[in-house]
């Protein structure tokens, strides 16, 4: 007879093996590679240890600096907009209306399609100079816009692709809204609080744990955006949509600089980790957990 302990271990073995092989090993290997001048086409044995020179090289790499700036701009624009939009739609879909289930499904659909290659190709077609959007604009008498051909608007097109996939954040917000007790709103109604006041003084504070969760998820995803810029603009024009993940890919698979590319991916990892850490640190100032309320009530 197996003891419960061994049976448990047996159950988790597939995950542990998968994690070690496909996450832990590449994670450690990429760090070791980042300390070498490994090139993709050479045997790994031919790589030389170069210490931190790949990291110091970034300081002088103007493409890296530009890519980093573009990545930050993308994240700082996308994440707040996406959260605000997802919250707005969630609030609207929280109304008790006939057939609301259908609307909820419809609004979630883009997230099922996601940021896949096929959707990115469609996006390129929509925003192209002779694409659907410009045809529609011309149809109503507004002139065409060079969406993909100008640095500012190209970035906007990529941002919009991410915003379009607001469904998963919206569903989480919706679940959070459902969990807010109705009696709070009834009490506020009795006190004569307007809907806007209720939103800012009841809904938003009680949604902060959900907002925090969505914020972390969106930050992590936005920093890793690849499909959109790769397929729609190839990072252009003038590298205006050349996000860091695209640079990492090109350094490894276009220029074969495996060592430098690994170093870039570690920098991206550190940036994401820093943002996540700051978010966790800051939550005590703005995230309101039910547990805190109960504790404070108890005292």
Partner 1 sequence: MNAYRLHRRFILLGASAAALSACLKPRPAPTSGRELRMSWWGGSSAHKATLEALRLFEEKHGIRVRGEYTGFAGHLERLTTQIAGGTAPDVMQINWYWQTLFSRDGTGFYDLSKLRDKLDLSQFDARTLSMGTNKGVLNAIAVSNAARLFYLNQTTYQKAGLSLPTTWDELFARGPQFKTRLGQGYYPLDGLFLEFIALARTYVVQGTGKPLINAETKSLNCTRADMYDFAGLYARMTRDHVWPSAQVRASYGNVAQQEMRPWINGQFAGTFQWNSSIDKYSDTLAAKQTLALAPYLLRPGAKDAGMMYRPAMMFAVNAKTPYPDESALLIEFLLNDPDGIRAMGLRRGVPVSKAARSLLNKEGLITPIQQQSEAQLAAAQINVVESPWFEHPRVRDGFQDILEAMGYGRLSEREAGDRLYDDINAILHRVVR
Judged by CB, which is closer to partner 1: 87, or 154? 154
Would you count residue 8 as binding partner 1 (CB under 8 A)?
Answer: no
Among 27, 42, 117, 200, binds partner 1 (CB under 8 A): 42
Among 84, 142, 234, 290, binds partner 1 (CB under 8 A): 234
Judged by CB, which is closer to partner 1: 154, or 174? 154
# residues contacting partner 1 (CB under 8 A):
30
How many CB atoms within 10 Å of residue 14? 9
CA distance 193 to 201: 10
Q: Are 55 and 231 in contact (CB under 8 A)?
A: no
Candidates 94-102, 209-217, 228-236, 265-273 — which segment interacts with partner 1 by CB under 8 A? 228-236
Among 110, 114, 205, 237, binds partner 1 (CB under 8 A): 237
- Minimum distance from CB of 59 to partner 1 (Å)? 17
Window 268-297: residues binding partner 1 (CB under 8 A): none
Judged by CB, which is closer to partner 1: 127, or 173? 127
Judged by CB, which is closer to partner 1: 90, or 128? 128
Judged by CB, which is closer to partner 1: 145, or 193? 145
Judged by CB, which is closer to partner 1: 120, or 211? 120
Would you count residue 37 as binding partner 1 (CB under 8 A)?
Answer: no
Would you count residue 44 as binding partner 1 (CB under 8 A)?
Answer: yes
Among 40, 163, 171, 220, binds partner 1 (CB under 8 A): 40
Would you count residue 236 as binding partner 1 (CB under 8 A)?
Answer: yes
Would you count residue 156 as binding partner 1 (CB under 8 A)?
Answer: no
Residues that bind partner 1 (CB under 8 A): 40-44, 124, 127-130, 146-151, 154, 230-234, 236-239, 253-256
């Amino acid at each position: 007879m197996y003891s419960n302990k061994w049976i448990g271990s047996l159950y988790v073995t597939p995950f542990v093996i998968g994690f070690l092989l496909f996450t832990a090993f590449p994670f450690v290997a990429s760090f070791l590679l980042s300390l070498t001048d490994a090139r993709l086409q050479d045997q790994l044995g031919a790589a030389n240890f170069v210490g931190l020179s790949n990291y110091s090289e970034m300081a002088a790499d103007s493409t890296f600096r530009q890519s980093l700036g573009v990545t930050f701009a993308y994240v700082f624009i996308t994440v707040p907009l996406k959260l605000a939009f997802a919250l707005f739609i969630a609030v609207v879909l929280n109304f008790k209306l006939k057939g609301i289930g259908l609307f909820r499904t419809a609004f979630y659909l883009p997230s099922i399609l996601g940021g896949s290659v096929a959707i990115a190709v469609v996006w390129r077609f929509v925003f192209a100079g002779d694409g659907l959007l410009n045809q529609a604009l011309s149809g109503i008498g507004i002139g065409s816009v060079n969406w993909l051909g100008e640095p500012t608007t190209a970035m906007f097109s990529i941002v919009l692709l991410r915003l379009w996939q607001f469904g998963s954040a919206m569903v989480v917000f919706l679940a959070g809204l459902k969990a807010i007790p109705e009696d709070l709103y009834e009490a506020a109604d009795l006190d004569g609080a307007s809907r806007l006041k209720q939103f800012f003084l009841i809904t938003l504070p009680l949604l902060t744990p959900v907002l925090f969760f969505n914020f972390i998820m969106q930050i992590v995803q936005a920093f890793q955006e690849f499909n959109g810029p790769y397929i729609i603009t190839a990072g252009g024009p003038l590298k205006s949509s050349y996000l860091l993940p695209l640079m990492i890919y090109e350094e490894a698979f276009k220029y074969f600089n495996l060592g430098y590319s690994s170093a870039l991916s570690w920098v991206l990892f550190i940036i994401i980790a820093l943002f996540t850490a700051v978010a966790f640190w800051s939550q005590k100032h703005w995230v309101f957990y039910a547990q805190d309320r109960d504790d404070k009530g108890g005292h």
